[in-house]
Amino acid sequence: MHDTLRPPLVFCSPLRYVQGPGLSRRLAAEMQAVGLEGPVLISAGNTAIASLAPAWAASFAEAGWAHRVLAFGGESSRREIAAIAAEAAAFAARAIVGAGGGKTLDAARSAAASLRLPFVSCPTVCSTDAPTSALSVIYADEGPRRGSVESYEIHRRSPDLVLVDTRVIAESPPRLLAAGIGDALSTFYEARAAVAGGAANMRGGRSTLAALALARLCRDVVFEHGAAALAACRSRVVDDPLERVVEAATLLSGLGFESAGLAAAHAVHNGLTAIPATHHLLHGEKVAFGTLVHLMLEANRSPADATRAEAAAEARRVAAFLVGIGLPVTLGELCIDATDTGAVAAIADRATAPGETIHGMPFPVDAAGVVAAIAAADAVGRAARGNQPS
């Protein structure tokens, strides 16, 4: 008797995760703790370079390692990835560090993968759950699709080290932390749907119980401590709520989405990137609205009455929370005219493209269903705003 062939349970994570105030000064020591060696290329955003270059220099000097800092070009595109890889090869780097926001990390991660070098993730903002994953989002940087999502790359290795300096996070713009909370809030709802739909996670396997539990914990921590963490960020204070939310939005959300799976919210984000008017918005701001669309898809399309009612109630809860932390909940707040049927149709078409994560929902989803869910999510958002025009 043969076992039925099923994909294996797969759980992936970084080799080491460290979080706390002032850790940038310990970068080389933490790299040594996982067996890495210099020389080291750091690909970093300009803001990160301005504030952290002295700490990096002191850290690597103590280790006796050569290092070089390369300013990130601004887009996680194939051209930028090739430039980072070329610089690392010319420097004979033994490891690549990405320091900055999600796009900075994604490009550095892809460059390291192309050279088969260890990768170290040093997020300087808490705006996405990208730091812990083996996933890079690639954006077009020229032509009519400039600024839109081109593809995902799943690399063979997870980061060797994720180092989160919460002093740096506390001094970052609160808008970025709010976006990270928006990204994190989607994690459980997408994980739950992907598991229910039998969809593969981002590493091609089935979700473990641990991944789904971490995704649920992420949601609960964000709901409980999100507002207080934002208050701490506005005051530039590292306190317990900030530490908890940074861990939730970085570690718990990263492990949850990668090892449990994505579904509609991130597909809607990708649809929104097809609209040029949204390009100035942050990833987590678009995902926040995508979460409302995800829940309204469940409210509209789930076969069970109880599930539909629960999803509608949860959408109202999420919308109220998002309003409270200043994230967009309506099309107008995303700079999209709700009466522009062409724009809404373009979002839905891109969100339901073949291979998109929306097809991991536990029921069939088509563009017409997404159009209806977008309208329903916009209505929920308007109600949360007190029926005031957005």
Element (H, E) at 156: none
Long-range contacts of 226-231 (CB under 8 A, 24+ apart): 226/181, 226/321, 226/325, 227/324, 227/325, 229/177, 229/181, 230/174, 230/177, 230/178, 230/181, 230/325
How many CA atoms within 13 Å lie on the side-chain side of 361? 28
Residue 183 a catalytic site member: yes
Give the span between the Cα atoms of 29 and 27, in whole angstroms: 6
Q: Which of 160, 165, 183, 378 is catalytic?
A: 183
Q: What are phi and psi of 68, to 5 degrees?
A: -135, 145
> In terms of Cα–Cα distance, which of 89, 90, 172 is closest to 126?
172
Give the span between the Cα atoms of 353 and 349, in whole angstroms: 6
Give the span between the Cα atoms of 253 and 67, in whole angstroms: 31
Task: Give the Å distances, CA to CA, from 355 to 146, 151, 271.
Answer: 21, 10, 13
Q: Which of 67, 225, 266, 294 is catalytic?
A: 266
Tokens, residue 15: 């080799």
Element (H, E) at 235: none
How much is the CA Rg of the chain, to the nearest whole Å? Answer: 20
Residue 2 a catalytic site member: no
Tokens, residue 319: 């919308």
Q: Which of 67, 106, 225, 269 is catalytic?
A: 269
> In terms of Cα–Cα distance, which of 87, 135, 69, 80 is closest to 104?
80
Give the span between the Cα atoms of 63 and 31, in whole angstroms: 10
Q: Which of 67, 225, 283, 294 is catalytic?
A: 283
Please identify every residue annotated as catalytic: 183, 266, 269, 283
